[in-house]
Chain A
Amino acid sequence: MKPRSIKYYFREAFSGLIKNRLMTIASIATVAACVFIMACSYCMVDNLRYMLHQMEDSIGIAVFLKGDMTGQEVEKLKETISAIDHVKEVKYVSPDDALDELKKEWGTEEGILEGFDGENNPLSNSFEISLDNIENQADVLAKLQKLEGIDNIRHAQTETEVLLKLNKMIKITGVLVIAILAAISIVIIFNTIKISVYTRRNEITIMKYVGATDWFIRWPFIIEGILIGFVGSVIPIGIAWPLYGKSVDLIYTYIPLIRNIATFKLGIEIFSKLFPIALLFGILLGVAGSVSSIRKYLKA
Chain B
Amino acid sequence: MITLSNVSKIYPNGSEGVKDISLHIDKGEFVFFVGSSGSGKSTMIKLLLKELDPTEGTIVINNMITNEISRGQISKLRRNLGVVFQDFRLLPNKTVYENVAFAMQVIEAPSKQIRRNVPAVLSLVGLAKKARSYPNQLSGGEQQRTALARAIVNNPPILIADEPTGNLDPETAGDIMHLLDDINKRGTTIVMATHAKDIVDAMQKRVVTLQDGHITRDIKKGGYSDEA
Contact = CB atoms under 8 A, between A and B. Distances in A.
B111 A206 contact: no
A8 interface: yes
B106 interface: yes
B78 A210 contact: yes
6 contacts: A210-B79, A210-B82, A210-B103, A210-B150, A213-B75, A300-B50
Contacts of A202: 89, 91
A205 B89 contact: yes
B89 A212 contact: no
B23 interface: no
A208 interface: yes
Q: Closest 7 CB pairs between A and B?
A: A211-B79, A211-B78, A212-B106, A210-B103, A213-B75, A211-B75, A207-B106
A209 B106 CA distance: 10
Contacts of A203: 91, 102
A212 B91 contact: no
A8 B104 CA distance: 12
A217 B72 CA distance: 13
A193 to B, nearest CB: 19
Given A4-B108, A300-B51, A214 B75 contact: yes
B154 interface: yes
Interface size classification for chain A:
10 to 19
Nearest to A216: B106
Interface of A: 2, 4-5, 8, 202-203, 205-214, 216-217, 300
Contacts, number: 58
Interface of B: 49-52, 71-72, 75-83, 89, 91, 102-103, 105-108, 110-111, 150, 154
A212 B52 contact: no
B108 A216 contact: yes
Contacts of A2: 108
Contacts of B77: 211
Nearest to A1: B108
B72 A213 contact: yes
B106 A210 contact: yes
Contacts of B52: 300
Given A4-B108, A4-B111, A206-B103, A211 B89 contact: no
Contacts of B51: 300
Contacts of A211: 75-81, 106-107, 154
A205 B102 CA distance: 12
A211 B106 CA distance: 8
A210 B71 contact: no
Nearest to B153: A210
Contacts of B80: 211
Contacts of A5: 108
B107 A212 contact: yes
A214 to B, nearest CB: 7
B103 to A, nearest CB: 4
A260 B105 CA distance: 67
Contact of B83 (A8, A209, A213, A300): A209
Nearest to B46: A300
Contacts of B72: 213-214
